[in-house]
Amino acid sequence: MQFKYRCLAVIAPLVFILDQITKYFVVEKMPLGSSTPVVNGYFDIVHYTNAGAAFGFLSSLSASLRTPFFYAVSVIALIVIIIYMVKLPAADRIMPVALSLVVGGIFGNGIDRVRCGHVTDFLSVHIGSKALWGINLEWPAFNVADSAITVAMALLIISAFRKQ
């Protein structure tokens, strides 16, 4: 089996399973809206839900429009990724990994949208404390699927620069 297909067969399911297991534990063990510091002032495990996309994008849109939109975008993205994966040269090592991470992320967040109508976010990274520095830089909460997609985007950027 070619490397690109092994990536898809291994990485995407691993991302999906890790994403779902971590979300399951957060939903089962933490009340919605709660926060547990892991590295005080920098990293918390939280339990938030997000009906929108990254950073809450489109969360204010009615569910009757938002839900079909996310389903359509996910299906189109999966089709494009699979077609692109088939056409990738066998020697390519970065793109199959990146695309497999995206597929796992799409399925991880997609199954949440189908089952719950929202995505569970539980990782919160922030720098600083208002009491200490007068500022608080906080990244929106995210999950394993979001992380996989972000790593994939970084790999795609690296791959683009390497080809130039």
Give the residue numbers marked as catalytic.
121, 146
Alpha-carbon distance 102 to 148, whole Å?
6
In the block, tokens 């390519």 appear at 92
Characterise 107 by phi-psi region: left (phi > 0), alpha (psi -120 to 50), beta (else). alpha
Question: Max Cα separation, the chain?
Answer: 56
Alpha-carbon distance 32 to 81, whole Å?
34
Distance of CA 4 to the CA centre of its chain: 21
